[in-house]
Chains A and B, each alone.
Chain A
């Protein structure tokens, strides 16, 4: 077991533990701040999967953008949300939660079964990629290749997603305006 593998297991443990804490925490603020840690550990996992550009993008967009947005929504929606959580605290384990836990466990068993059955390391296209040396190695530089591919091979999805992002942001700004009397 080398250092990379140990690092992978540490990152996976941090990710899953903090995600479980996010799921079971009674305090909304605490679960939001634990979500920070989940996202950082996920960025570490992306680095271990040799996708450093995606890891940086994850930190910049998720931690810098989405989480700050969620914090703003929490602060703007006031004390009522906290009251709802207080009420939740009284009933320690509700039928709703048991059902959700059951559903998640069943789904996890199905997914795990599928993952172990499919044997992803010996899929035909992956063995083909290994044979033709089409694998990212820790020393290969991927960022400039990503830039070239973004502007040539994936130009259409890039433009489509930029228009979609603009539409979504204009729509969000329109939705969150104060309502005017018509």
Chain B
């Protein structure tokens, strides 16, 4: 069987790819995908450790909660992206720099 360290290394690599996307991309949708990658790395860790908790299923249940949280986050973030596009005609976060109304 695979050891826990293998899962942890895969999820660390996935997290760093997500971090790279969040920092380098100039498109709100791609930044959102990067955040999803980071969330998935965390869920992979929860699931890998959840193997050692057969009676209470702590890891697997909190992985399910994290998936639901990701769904809620995405819905709100996409609504915000659509609003930003409607107002600024761009979704580049570097160009959205006005706090006041137009």
- Chain A residues engaging chain B, CB cutoff 8 angstroms: 4-5, 8, 12, 15-16, 19-20, 22-23, 28, 31-32, 35, 38-39, 42, 45-46, 48-51, 53-54, 57-58, 61-62, 65-66, 69-70, 72-74, 76-78, 80-81, 84-85, 88, 96-97, 99-101, 103-105, 107-108, 111-112, 115-116, 119-121, 125-126, 129-130, 134-136, 140, 142, 145-146, 149-150, 153-154, 157-158, 161, 164-165, 168-169, 171-173, 175-176, 179
Partner of B57 from A130, A145, A165 at Cβ < 8 Å:
A145
Known: A20-B17, A77-B85, A168-B75. A130 touches B51 (CB 8 A): no
Shortest Cβ distance from residue B12 to the other chain A in the assembled complex, whole angstroms: 4
Interface of B is mostly: helix
Q: Are A62 and B16 closer than 8 Å at their CB atoms?
A: no
Shortest Cβ distance from residue B98 to the other chain A in the assembled complex, whole angstroms: 16
User: How many A-B contacts are there with CB distance less than 8 Å?
Assistant: 241
Interface size class of chain B, counting residues whose CB lies under 8 Å from the partner chain? 35 or more
Q: Are A80 and B90 closer than 8 Å at their CB atoms?
A: yes
User: Complex: how many Å from CA A146 to CA B63?
Assistant: 12
